[in-house]
A and B are shown apart, each in its own frame.
Chain A
Amino acid sequence: MKRNQLLKESEWWVEEAIITEAQRERLLEHYPEKQYKPVLLTFAALFIGLGFLTFTASNWSYLADWGRMAVLLLSMSAFYVAGERVYKKKSPRVGSSLILTALLIFGAAIFLIGQMYHYTAFSASPFLLWSMAAAGLYFIMREGMFYYAAAVIITVGQVYSGLVFQDFYLWLGFLLLAGLGWVVYEKRSLPFAGVFAASYYIQALVLVFSGGYPYYWLIVVSMALYIADDFIIQKGQTRIWKTSAVVFMFAVFFLQIFFLGDGYAETLTESSLYFFLIWAVLFVFAVVRSALSTTNYYWIDLLLFIPVFRFPSGDLFSLIVLFFYAVLWLVSGYQQEVRRWVNKGTAAFLLTTLAAYFQLAWDFMDRSVFFFVGGLLLFGLSYGLEKKRRSFRKEGEEE
């Protein structure tokens, strides 16, 4: 109860002789008047700090090395201390943004000092240190902002490692899996899991393409996240890791339709023994899980983890699998009357048709005819699907 409210109410309590005046005063002592410290002051500090930083940035080349060191160290510490104070006493939000500024100064300082003192990095290790600081802040403060900061720094560092060193930096991957993965496991937060998944796939792409591994390792990587979803599941929540794995694999299949032409598939068949070993273990595990689950339809998702590249004319095979996938979700959606499945099947069906059309008709049709016919085809298709969906929805409402 607020003090003002209590002040009014207790007056009445005394009049009604529920409590005495002395008791009233003692009660009010427990609700001290709030000290409204101006948030403006904090913003003023923030602006002064940022002004100072931009000023030094523009005069950077005139400063001696020790002067630069002093500027970096002092501004970083000042933002950290101010942030901690404000966080505790006034506004957690403003406080954590001050701390975030300090974290950014720390990152900038690593690179600037590295440049000042001619350090050469052989890997993305500056990003590792920086993201460790961010993750450390999260574990101490438990503020989501620092989780996101850590995820962004880790991801950017990994992409940097891939682009500059053509190398996957193992420790950043480890920090994501063990550090942030643990947070997701512990907190079961949907946005945390989503950000984790985004970083996971970006890093997987870096791993596969900079390490020179065949693309099919992505199947195993996304299947691992698909299965891991079972460990962070929470009732009533979107299964974001499963969904992301399915979307990712759908995209992979979509590209396979165009790239798994004749000739390419054969080059992939070497050295895939380990892949099939891991794949088989995960796949069996996934099948068992889906067989044990209460809904008997999740096995349809597993179609997307079929390693089609192993078969001759994998492009056609990808197309067939995608059509099966779409139709199975459509059919079981109608049967079980689950609107979400119907929507999923519809989207998959439209995209697959589009891919098939592009793949089959692009080469031998006149361009204008191609688009014209394609438009008509999509129009007819969406009309049919929409009609079916509406009648289905009506039935659902009537029941």
Chain B
Amino acid sequence: MNKQRWFYGLVSVQALFLLLMAGGYYAMDVVGEKVVLKTAPVDPRDPFYGDYVELGYDIEEISEDQWQGEKALDGGEKVFLLLEAGENGVYGLQKAGTERPDSEEGQVVLAARYLWEDERASIHHVDIGLNRYYIEENTGRMWEQDEERLVTIVLAPWNQKKIVSLD
């Protein structure tokens, strides 16, 4: 009997986890903070991968004067970006570093993974983990690379984020 109880306990935990995954996604719309970001061109040239488009962001390229972390970071390390809303509502990068900064009104903190440093152009590349936008299969031809787009994302208090729309 006890074994049966454990078994159904484990099954319920699995079902609950899947429900939470879905629930968290919808809950974000209510409690999350909306942030609009500008895209940047990505490598490779063709961003279309069948069922998703590859996105790059303006704020993923950090210039030397915005960078406040150590000089040489390993790829994959966690860094924090401090973003601030500009006029027209698009968020821009204030500063970035390995320490979590305090945010004021109109500012948000976004966690990212450090990628690599372009020493020639002195630009630090990071990855905010929102580089794939899944779309309906076989509708991808309408996404073209060279256009600059605005991406609306939403940040949840529980450290989750998602892309809401791509204009």
Interface, chain A (partner B; CB < 8 A): 61, 65, 69, 72-73, 76-77, 80-81, 84, 88, 102, 106, 109-110, 113-120, 122, 129, 133, 136-137, 140-141, 165-167
Contact = CB atoms under 8 A, between A and B. Distances in A.
Contacts of B113: 122
B136 interface: yes
Q: Binding site of A, secondary structure by majority: helix, strand, loop or mixed?
A: helix
B75 A113 contact: no
B25 A117 contact: yes
The contact size tier of chain B is 20 to 34
B137 interface: yes
B15 A117 contact: no
A141 B130 CA distance: 40
Contacts of A133: 10, 14
A114 B36 CA distance: 22
Contact of B4 (A61, A84, A114, A118): A84
Contact of A136 (B10, B18, B130, B137): B10
A119 B76 contact: no
B22 A69 contact: yes
A71 B165 CA distance: 26
A120 B17 contact: no
21 contacts: A72-B18, A76-B14, A77-B15, A88-B4, A106-B14, A110-B21, A114-B21, A116-B134, A117-B21, A119-B21, A119-B160, A119-B162, A122-B113, A133-B14, A137-B10, A140-B7, A140-B10, A141-B3, A165-B76, A166-B76, A167-B76
Contacts of B134: 115-116, 118
B163 interface: yes
Given A118-B134, A137-B10, A113 B18 contact: yes
B158 interface: no
Contacts of A77: 11, 15
B22 A120 contact: no
Contacts of A88: 4
A80 B11 contact: yes
A69 B21 CA distance: 10
